[in-house]
Structure formats: C-alpha cells, structure tokens
C-alpha cells in the first residue's frame, strides 16, 4: 500500500489468485462473490495514470491551525487524541452518511471530505508545544486486493480516496497512515476525558471570520429552502402527508446547495405544531391551519443554520392566529433587544418570558398575574405554554458548545463573536382545557440566528420574513 501519496498509475504487477480475500465456507456474507484467475491477473493493469496535484491550503486551514495552537497551549506536556469517529450502522450492512466529530472538524478544517476512523494526535515536544499529526487510512493503489474487494473503503466501490501528501497540503497539517498510529499512552482522549472535551467545546463559543461566513452561507441557503416550501404550498396541501412533502422539498435544497440538514426537519402542521420536536412529519397540511417549520441547512463546511417560521397555509392569519403570532414575535424582538455585549445569556429568556407571561395574562389564560408567574421559585405558570428556553449556541452543531461549563453557557455573558438563536414560542395543545377553545391547536415559534458583533446583535436571518404582514406577503408573492 502506498504511504507516500504517489499517484495511482498503470500497474504491471499482476495479482496472484491467493491475493483475493478468501470466503470461508460457513460465511454469512451471502452477497460476496469469488474472483476468478482471469480477473485477478488483469485487474491491476490497463489503468490510465492519475497524477497527484497538490492543492493549496484550503481557506479554513489557517483558522484551524490557530485553534490547534490554543489546544496545545491549554494542555502542555499532554498527549491528546481526537478521533473523527467511525461509520454508524443504520441497518445490517448499511451505514448512515459519515460525519466527523465536530471537534475533529473544527481542529483540522476537514469537513465533508473527511475519512472515517481518522485520528488527530497532539504529541508533546517537551513541557510546552506539540507536534500535531492527522492519521488516516490512505487510498490503496490498484495493485491491492482492497481496491476491488472491500466495499467499505475500496475505490472501485466508493470512488477515489485522499492521499497523505494531498491532505497534508490541503489542510496544512502533517499526515501519516493510520497503521502507524499507536493509541497507547494517551493522556487525554476526546469524549473520554472531561477536561479536553470541555475545552474544545468552549473553544467554539467564539466564531472567527471563516465560521461567521459559513454560518451566513448556511442561513442564506436555508432561506432559499423556506422559499421553496412556500412556493410549493399548493402541492403540499394536495398530498395526504403534506408534512412529508415539506420535508422533501427542503431536503432537495439542502442536498443541492449544501451537505445535508443540520438536524431532522420539523414540519408540524395544525396541532402538530404544539409538539416541540415533531419530526414524524406524516400529517396533512390543511388550509386554515398554521404550519411550523423548523429547519436548517448544513453546508459543506458542516456549519448549520437553525431557522423557524410559522406560516398560514391559506396565506392569511386568522384573528386569533395573528394575535398569537405577533405575541411570539414581540417576545423575540424583546430578546433581541436584550442581547447586548455584556448581558447574561439568561437575560434573553427573561426578556422573552416577560412578554409571553403578560400576553397570557391579557388573554385570561394565566391562573395568576404575570408578575406572579415570572417568579422563578413560586411561579413559571407561563412555562406550560413555552416549556423550552429561548436560545442556544449555534455552529458546527445545531446545539453548539454543549459540553461547555454552565457558567460559560446558560450562566455566561454574551460576548462579541458568539452566534446563537433566539426562538420563543407559544403552544396551546389541542386538548389543553386551561386555554379557551379558540386557542387550542395553535402552535407558533419564530427562530432567528444571531451574531454578536462588538456593537450589538446582528440578525443573520433577517431577510426571511418575520412579521405577520411580511409572512402573508411572502406567501402571496410566491403563490401568484
């Protein structure tokens, strides 16, 4: 097997029949076929040269190097191991599409083209500093049995795999074959050691220029996906499982212009909108109802958007629907106004809940006053109708930086460079007898992605219609 990154050339070496993997007589791999001598003696010949052209470092290489420097400085003298992770089995011999661990991607700059079972290793060079090496299974040339006989990694099956030299040039990072990796004697291993796992999660609390640009791209592609949904409302309504059509329309945009969705799309119509994580998406989309769509495109760099809009299926809100919708928007606007550098992350919750509680009191739904409900110890009656929080960090993961210490996250301070959501909602379940009948079955959430600039918050998703009037005009524009 080549370990130098040389190109796969026209071979003259012939494979002997014994080079093919043997199939035991009692094998349960029922689809595997043996290879005859004619195949084995010719498979390595007759291939055109494929010269290796070393690429310039990708845009994110410089940023990834800075992140590795931060990790190195935080753990002097420690050997660190950060695996990309393996394929995950979906069923039998079918795997889910591979996605590398977010911390691994963040520290290498390797994204959708990363290789399963790769490992990033920090080898200490003394009391301070590290030699950092990316270990992975390099491509096998066409003189090996793996090329044609291994459906998991063979190039005949899955296409060209990267070579060591090419990846080293691409990422600006030393590379080596995975066979030379020695896992023993690691001081800290990602997801096994709390200190390392926490540090690399907290490292993502502040986004650099590259990350911000990728998040804006993810939001922009997501906006196109929402336009696609609105433009297809007639077809969505016609189908008995219209929610599934919404999911499919958005998936097409995500795959066409990005990598995938960053999380399972929520397409919740009518009473389904009151279930916070409705991903079954098997219901009808009926005229007169609202449909709550929570969706985000993950672009090829693996950064994802996270947007929610609630849309009147017929194009117009009813009086009660509009009342609920605008209350949620008012709560979102209050949270945005509270999102200033130096504010507490929890201030966003407080601002949104204040609006929600007062509107519920105004509508006669709260059993106590708004002020009593807002008491954190004896109150929170309003949480029955908005049980979730208002914000979370966003980045490579839809709920980014999840292993950060609580005092830096929920109890932390908003600082320039952070990207987070604002997503209040109101949900009146269809069988909730504590609300007037006219409200039952209405669920509304509005979610935007926010960048904290030095002088205040910037709504990355402001181009997607937000107010009730804007949403009605949006539906009318795309459904002439």
Is residue 404 a contact partner of residue 415, using CB atoms and an 8 Å limit? no
Q: Based on the fold, state whether residues 382 and 327 are members of the same structural domain.
A: yes
Chain-centroid distance, C-alpha 419: 14
Residue 17's pLDDT is what?
36
Residue 33's pLDDT is what?
77
- State which of 147, 176, 203 marks the end of a domain: 203
What CATH number is associated with residue 234?
A: 3.90.230.10
12 in any annotated domain = no
Q: Based on the fold, state whether residues 178 and 289 are members of the same structural domain.
A: no
Domain residues for the domain of 143 are 17-203
Please give the Cα distance from 420 to 400 (Å, whole number): 9
Is residue 213 a contact partner of residue 220, using CB atoms and an 8 Å limit? no
Please give the Cα distance from 299 to 398 (Å, whole number): 12
- State which of 175, 203, 231 marks the end of a domain: 203
290 in any annotated domain = yes
Q: Based on the fold, state whether residues 276 and 371 are members of the same structural domain.
A: yes
Tell whether the torsion through CA atoms of 261, 262, 263 and 267 is positive or negative.
negative
164: helix, strand or coil: helix
Q: Based on the fold, state whether residues 403 and 434 are members of the same structural domain.
A: yes
Is residue 120 a contact partner of residue 132, using CB atoms and an 8 Å limit? yes
Residue 276's pLDDT is what?
95
Q: Based on the fold, state whether residues 144 and 293 are members of the same structural domain.
A: no
Is residue 285 a contact partner of residue 313, using CB atoms and an 8 Å limit? yes
Q: Domain count for the chain, please give it.
A: 2
Give the CA distances from residue 131 to residues 72, 108, 120, 126, in Å, rounded to whole numbers and listed in that order: 9, 14, 11, 10
215 in any annotated domain = yes
Please give the Cα distance from 353 to 328 (Å, whole number): 10
Segment (H or E) for 175? strand 174-177
Please give the Cα distance from 440 to 426 (Å, whole number): 11
Kindly give, in sequence order, each residue whose CB lies less than 8 Å from that of residue 474, ignoring residues fewer than 6 positions away.
230, 311, 465
Please give the Cα distance from 115 to 117 (Å, whole number): 7
Q: Based on the fold, state whether residues 386 and 310 are members of the same structural domain.
A: yes
What CATH number is associated with residue 137?
A: 3.40.350.10
Is residue 303 a contact partner of residue 395, using CB atoms and an 8 Å limit? yes
Q: How many CB atoms are closer than 10 A to CB 37? A: 11
In degrees and rounded to multiples of 5, residue 83 shows phi and psi of -75, 150
Q: Based on the fold, state whether residues 314 and 424 are members of the same structural domain.
A: yes
Residue 144's pLDDT is what?
81
Residue 159's pLDDT is what?
84
Q: Based on the fold, state whether residues 294 and 180 are members of the same structural domain.
A: no
Q: Based on the fold, state whether residues 343 and 449 are members of the same structural domain.
A: yes
Which parts of the chain register pLDDT below 70? 1-31
Q: Which strands, in side-by-side order, build the sheet including 448-453?
A: 419-422, 448-453, 456-459
DSSP state of 306: -
Q: Based on the fold, state whether residues 369 and 282 are members of the same structural domain.
A: yes
| Residue 335 C-beta-side C-alpha neighbours within 13 Å | 31
Give the CA distances from residue 219 to residues 40, 70, 157, 336, in Å, rounded to whole numbers and listed in that order: 50, 28, 34, 18
8 in any annotated domain = no
Q: Based on the fold, state whether residues 171 and 212 are members of the same structural domain.
A: no
- State which of 181, 203, 225 marks the end of a domain: 203
Residue 153's pLDDT is what?
80
88 in any annotated domain = yes
Q: What is the per-residue pLDDT across 285-338, written as a single tens digit (0 to 9) for each?
A: 999 999 999 999 999 999 999 999 999 999 999 999 999 999 999 999 999 999
Residue 143's pLDDT is what?
76
Please give the Cα distance from 231 to 131 (Å, whole number): 53
196 in any annotated domain = yes
Q: Based on the fold, state whether residues 173 and 43 are members of the same structural domain.
A: yes
DSSP state of 445: E
Please give the Cα distance from 342 to 416 (Å, whole number): 9
3 in any annotated domain = no
Residue 272's pLDDT is what?
98
Pairing of strands 130-136, 174-177: parallel
Token couple for 247 = 């999911």
Kindly give, in sequence order, each residue whose CB lies less than 8 Å from that of residue 238, ignoring residues fewer than 6 positions away.
none
Residue 52's pLDDT is what?
79
136 in any annotated domain = yes
């Amino acid at each position: 097997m080549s370990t130098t990154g040389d190109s796969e050339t026209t071979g003259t070496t012939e494979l002997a029949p014994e080079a093919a993997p043997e199939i035991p007589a009692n094998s349960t791999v029922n689809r595997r076929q043996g290879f005859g001598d004619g195949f084995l003696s010719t498979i390595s010949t007759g291939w055109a040269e494929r010269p290796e052209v070393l690429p310039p470092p990708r845009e994110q290489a410089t940023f990834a190097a800075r992140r590795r420097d931060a990790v190195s400085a935080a753990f002097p003298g420690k050997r660190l191991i950060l695996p990309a992770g393996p394929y995950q089995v979906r069923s039998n011999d079918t795997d889910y599409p591979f996605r590398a661990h977010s911390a691994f991607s963040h520290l290498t700059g390797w994204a959708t083209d990363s290789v399963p079972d790769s490992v990033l290793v920090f080898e200490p060079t003394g009391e301070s500093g590290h030699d950092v090496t990316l270990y992975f299974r390099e491509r096998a040339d066409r003189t090996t049995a793996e090329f044609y006989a291994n459906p998991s990694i063979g190039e005949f099956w899955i296409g060209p795999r990267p070579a060591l030299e090419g990846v080293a040039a691409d990422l600006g990072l030393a590379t080596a074959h995975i066979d030379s990796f020695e896992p023993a004697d690691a001081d800290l291993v990602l997801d096994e050691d709390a200190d390392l796992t926490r540090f690399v999660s907290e490292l993502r609390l502040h986004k650099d220029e590259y990350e911000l640009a990728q998040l804006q791209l993810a939001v922009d592609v997501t906006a196109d996906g929402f336009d696609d949904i609105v433009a297809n409302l007639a077809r969505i309504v016609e189908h008995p499982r219209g929610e599934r059509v919404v999911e499919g329309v958005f998936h097409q945009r995500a795959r066409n212009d990005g990598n995938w969705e960053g999380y399972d799309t929520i397409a919740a119509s009518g009473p389904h909108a009151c279930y916070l994580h409705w991903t079954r998406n098997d219901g009808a989309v009926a005229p007169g109802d609202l449909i709550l769509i929570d969706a985000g495109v993950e672009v090829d760099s693996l950064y994802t958007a996270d947007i929610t809009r609630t849309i009147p299926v017929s194009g117009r809100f009813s009086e009660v629907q509009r009342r609920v919708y605008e209350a949620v928007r008012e709560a979102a606007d209050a949270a945005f106004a509270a999102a200033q550098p130096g504010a507490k992350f929890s201030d966003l919750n407080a601002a949104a809940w204040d609006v929600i509680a007062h509107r519920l009191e105004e509508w006669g739904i709260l059993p106590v006053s708004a002020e009593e409900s807002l008491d954190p110890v004896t109150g929170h009656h309003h949480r029955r109708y908005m049980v979730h929080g208002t914000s979370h960090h966003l980045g490579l993961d839809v709920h980014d930086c999840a292993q950060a210490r609580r005092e830096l996250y929920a109890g932390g301070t908003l600082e320039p460079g952070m990207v987070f959501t604002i997503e209040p909602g109101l949900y009146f379940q269809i069988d909730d007898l504590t609300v007037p009948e006219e409200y039952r079955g209405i669920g509304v959430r509005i979610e935007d992605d926010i960048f904290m600039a030095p002088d205040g918050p910037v709504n990355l998703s402001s181009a997607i219609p937000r107010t009730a009037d804007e949403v009605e005009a949006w539906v009318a524009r795309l459904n002439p």
